[in-house]
Amino acid sequence: MEHRIKERFVPVLFIIVHMGLAQENNLHKGFSGDYLGQKPPGMMPTPFMPSLFSPSGQRNFHLHSSLFFTPDGNEVYFSNQDTSKNSNYKCTIYHIEQTDGNWGEPEIAPFSGKYDDNIVKISGDGNRIYFSSNRPENGENPGRERRYWMVERTCSGWNTPRHLTSTSDIPLDEGTFYFSNINPDGQNNYDIYLSRFENGKYSDPVPLNVPVNTHMEEYAIFSTSDEKSLVFYRTCEGDRSKTGLYISSQLPDGKWSDPRSFGDNINPSGFSASLSPDGAYLFILKRNEGIYWVNSGFLEYLTKNDLDIINLLYEEGLNKGISCVETLFKSLVFRHQDCFEFSGELLHGVSGRLLMIDSIDLAMKIIELNKSLCPDYLHGRDQILLASFGPDPGALKKLCKSIRKMKDLYILDEHEINSTGYLLLSKKLIDKAILIFKLNVQLFPDSWNVYDSLGEAYLGSGKLRMAKKYYQHSLCLNGNNTSAKKALSEINKPEQ
């Protein structure tokens, strides 16, 4: 029986074992040379052409795929997602060509633009592109469901895309296919399957076992040419720390090793990846940030080293205490400094996880340690906590004033500041919580949620007039805010 490919949106649908070849590339008109004239990276992931391939670049691209170069190095393909209002987040496949040594402007691929298309892979000879799309078949209307398609290059250009109903529709031996599909366990999650080219056609897909496929969702990205390593994307609803790119290696007995995270410099934003045609460089898409690239030896390094630094420090703190966290941090810096960027963001992440389990005392020690090791790292949430639980009763007011006047000096996250306000509420520090919520209103005046939180704090303190004022402001920004409607209904009830 043929294995029919189910339809539903997935970030990456299937992949081909990478079958190496040439080099070259450089983007945007006026650039020339291999890889858009960019200086080749070492073992530290670095931004690739941020002037083009980032949301803040010249074209405001919000990529939904990595970069896929043709074997001759004269073309690069990628998917861009339209994030504008009423766009339904439609993806379109773009390409850039190099002519006479110069790279042109990004243009929509001739077979894309009308429907929601996301590139998956270019074949080893560069003559076939595999992609997912919601485009209709047999005159039907386009819908939400995504299917697999293939388009072939001819002497006159790309032909009409063809729907692949199953792996047996793949016309040539492209190497082992790894792809993602809904698993049959009734949980509606995606798992990774493989199909091999045998006896002139692709075999029925077989699911990979644990530890690659789990209760979370896994999406295939690519396999190295020797099939010894598989890169995939994993997403875990409710625990963003487990979301991102992973690599697993095939063991001598055919099983797969425990997956290794791409590390905290990449995840949880890591979303897609690809290898250059010659296998020399790894390209990585970090959602809402852009493309990074690194020497492909980074993959082997991942298989031998754990770069999930935040988790390592977190476990060390829970099991052995703050002094051991400092020792481990310094040893990790010494060990991985050539391929991992260490910053205050790491210990900030550790303290955040500790706050989630209400381990406030240890979280405060981690924040103090971060202040000592990374004195230039000024995260608003951490500074607020130090001022709130410190010995100086006036410290929080002074800090709020400082943040308002010199906010560019601080890393300010609306949601983390809001969570800190609720933490203070839970500790019955209502006046301090109100200070924090008021600060958040001043920092993020266009957010309906910060006004709702301030209203809630005033309501809890019995200041109904102030609560009403901020709930009403929240409703002006978001007429569907049900919590504000409910609170106002209670406030406006006539006294019995």
198 occurs within a structural domain: yes
324 and 349 share one domain: yes
- In this structure, the dihedral spanned by the alpha carbons of residues 163, 169, 171 and 177, taken in order and rounded to 10 degrees, is 100
Last residue of a domain, which of 275, 304, 333? 304
Q: Which residues contact 91 (CB under 8 A, 6 or more apart)?
A: 64, 65, 79, 80, 81, 82, 116, 117, 118
3 occurs within a structural domain: no
* pLDDT number for residue 88: 86
Q: Tell me how far the alpha carbon of residue 133 is from its chain's centroid.
A: 21
8 occurs within a structural domain: no
Mean per-residue pLDDT, 204-210? 91
Last residue of a domain, which of 287, 304, 321? 304
Categorize the per-residue pLDDT at 13 as very low, low, confident or very high, splitting at 50, 70 and 90: very low
* pLDDT number for residue 125: 93
Q: Which residues pair with 230 in a beta bridge?
A: 223, 248
**Residue 179 and residue 205 in contact, taking contact as beta carbons nearer than 8 Å:** yes
* pLDDT number for residue 171: 84
Query: Mean pLDDT across the chain, nearest whole number?
Result: 90
* pLDDT number for residue 189: 84
Mean per-residue pLDDT, 160-189? 84
52 and 113 share one domain: yes
The sheet with strand 270-275 has its strands ordered as 46-47, 290-295, 281-286, 270-275
Q: Which residue's entry shows tokens 């300010």? A: 412
Mean per-residue pLDDT, 31-38? 87
169 and 64 share one domain: yes
6 occurs within a structural domain: no
223-227, 324-328, 340-344: segment of lowest average pLDDT: 223-227
462 and 354 share one domain: no
98-102, 138-142, 304-308, 447-451: segment of lowest average pLDDT: 138-142
Q: Is the pLDDT of residue 183 over 50?
A: yes
Concatenating the DSSP letter of every residue in 212-281 gives TS-SSEEEEEEE-TTSSEEEEEEE-TT-GGG-EEEEEEB-TTS-BPPPEE--TTTTTTEEEEEE-TTS-E
Mean per-residue pLDDT, 451-467? 96
328 and 438 share one domain: yes
Indicate the number of domains in the chain: 3
Q: Tell me how far the alpha carbon of residue 311 is from its chain's centroid.
A: 18
* pLDDT number for residue 258: 96
* pLDDT number for residue 141: 66
* pLDDT number for residue 187: 66
* pLDDT number for residue 6: 40
Q: Is the pLDDT of residue 101 over 90?
A: no
Q: Is the pLDDT of residue 19 over 70?
A: no
9 occurs within a structural domain: no
The 10s digit of each residue's pLDDT in 355-404 is 999 999 999 999 999 999 999 999 999 999 999 999 999 999 999 999 99
Interior/surface letters 190-218, b for 16+ CB within 10 angstroms, e for the rest: bbbbbbebeeeebbebeebeeebbeebbb
* pLDDT number for residue 14: 45
192 and 218 share one domain: yes
- For 368, the token pair is 């103090």
**Residue 411 and residue 379 in contact, taking contact as beta carbons nearer than 8 Å:** yes
Categorize the per-residue pLDDT at 10 as very low, low, confident or very high, splitting at 50, 70 and 90: very low
Mean per-residue pLDDT, 34-42? 92
Q: Is the pLDDT of residue 104 over 80?
A: yes
268 and 130 share one domain: yes
407 and 453 share one domain: no
413 occurs within a structural domain: yes
Mean per-residue pLDDT, 48-63? 91
Mean per-residue pLDDT, 122-143? 86
* pLDDT number for residue 86: 81
Q: Is the pLDDT of residue 144 over 80?
A: no
Dist CA 388 CA 115 (whole Å)? 52
Mean per-residue pLDDT, 48-70? 93
101 occurs within a structural domain: yes
Dist CA 442 CA 16 (whole Å)? 50
Categorize the per-residue pLDDT at 17 as very low, low, confident or very high, splitting at 50, 70 and 90: very low
142 and 286 share one domain: yes
Report the amino acid identity of residue 294. V
2-11, 74-83, 165-174: segment of lowest average pLDDT: 2-11
Of the candidates 35, 18, 41, the residue with the CA atom closest to the CA atom of residue 178: 18
Q: Is the pLDDT of residue 23 over 80?
A: no
452 and 438 share one domain: no
Q: Is the pLDDT of residue 174 over 70?
A: yes
Mean per-residue pLDDT, 437-443? 96
- For 378, the token pair is 């000024």
354 occurs within a structural domain: yes
Q: How many CA atoms lie within 13 A of 405 on its CB side?
A: 6
* pLDDT number for residue 79: 97
pLDDT: which is higher, 31 or 445? 445
- For 439, the token pair is 């600060």
339 and 299 share one domain: no
CATH number, domain containing residue 247: 2.120.10
Last residue of a domain, which of 402, 419, 444? 444
277 and 351 share one domain: no
**Taking the alpha carbons of 45, 69, 179, 7 in that order, is the dihedral positive or negative?**
positive
pLDDT: which is higher, 164 or 29? 164
Categorize the per-residue pLDDT at 175 as very low, low, confident or very high, splitting at 50, 70 and 90: confident
- 3-state secondary structure (DSSP) of residue 481: coil
Domain residues for 467? 446-496
